[in-house]
Structure 1
C-alpha cells in the first residue's frame, strides 16, 4: 500500500465524515423535517456534496494524482452545502462537517 501523508489521511477522514453526515442528515433529518429541508435544490445539493466527498476520499485512497481536481471541486460544493444548510437551519452538524471538509480539501487541492 502506498504511503499517505498525515495531511492526506486527515483530508480523507474529513471527506468520509462529511459524506456520512450529509447522507444521513438528508435521509434522516431532512426527510423527517420536510419543508425547506426537502426543497429539491437543497436536497440535491446535500446528496451531491455527500457523493463528491466520497469520490474525493476514494481518489486519495487510490493515490490518484487527479485527487487535486476532485478536492478543489469538493471544497467548492462543501462550501455551498454549508451555506445552504445554514440558511435552512437546524443543521449544525452538516454545516460543521462541510466547513471542515472544505478547508481540508482546499489545502489538498493547493
Structure 2
C-alpha cells in the first residue's frame, strides 16, 4: 500500500490543489465579481469540480481500486471547468490548475 500511495501522491497533490483553487475562486473571486462569474451553470461547475477533486484525492488516500473511476470523472469535470473558466475570463489560475489536475487524473485512471 505504501508504494501504491507514493505513486499516487503527485495526483493526490494535484487534486488537492485543484480543490483549493476552485473552492477559493468560487468563494473569493466569483462571488465578489458577480455577473458571468456567478451564473448558475458556471458557479455550480466550479463547486462540482472542487468536490470531485476532493473526492478523488480521498479515494486515492483510502487506497481503494475505485479511485480509477473517480479520477476518470475528475478529469472530465476538470476539463469542463477549465473551459468554463476560460469563457468567463479572468480566472487563469483556475484554468491552469484544472488542466494540470485533469492530465494527472487521466494518467491515474488509465
Give the structure-1-normalised TM-score. 0.96
Q: Which residue of 2 aligns with 1:65?
A: 65
Q: Which residue number corresponds to residue 45 of structure 1?
A: 45
Partner of 1:9: 9
Report the alpha carbon displacement of residue 5 of structure 1 after superposing the two structures with TM: 4.7
Cα offsets for 1:57-96 (capped at 9, x unmatched): 0000000100000000000000000000000000010001
Gaps of 5+ in 1: none
User: How many angstroms apart in 1 are the aligned matches of 2:18 and 2:40?
Assistant: 20
Report runs of 4+ in structure 1 exceeding 4 Å deviation.
none
Q: Does 1:77 find its partner at 2:77?
A: yes
1:7 positional shift: 3.8
Structure 2 unaligned blocks of 5 or more: none
Query: How far apart are residue 49 of structure 1 and its match?
Result: 0.2
Whole-angstrom CA distance in 2 between matches of 1:95 and 1:42: 13
For the aligned residue pairs, the C-alpha RMSD in angstroms reads 0.9
